Amino acid sequence: MLLLRRIFPILAAILYLISPVDVLPDFLPVLGWLDDILVLGILAWVLIARQRGQSPWDVFRGRPGRPWARRPSGPRPEDLTADFSRMDPYTLLEVSRQASPQEIRAAYRRAVARYHPDKVAHLGQEFQELAHKKLLAIQDAYEILQSKHR
What would the pLDDT profile of 113-137 be if each residue is shown by its tens digit? Answer: 888 888 888 888 888 888 888 888 8
pLDDT of the residue at 147 = 85
CA distance 45 to 58: 12
Q: What distance in Å separates the CA atoms of residue 138 and residue 142, rounded to the nearest whole number?
A: 6
**What's the number of CA atoms in the CB half-sphere (13 Å) around residue 82?**
21
Which residues in the chain show pLDDT less than 50? 66-69
Q: Residue 68's pLDDT is what?
A: 46
Which of left, alpha, beta for 113 (phi over 0: left; psi -120 to 50: alpha)?
A: alpha
Q: How far is C-alpha 81 from the chain's CA centre?
A: 26
Confidence at residue 82, expressed as pLDDT on a 0 to 100 scale? 60
- In this prediction, residue 108 carries a pLDDT of 92
pLDDT of residue 79: 55
Write down the pTM of the prediction.
0.46
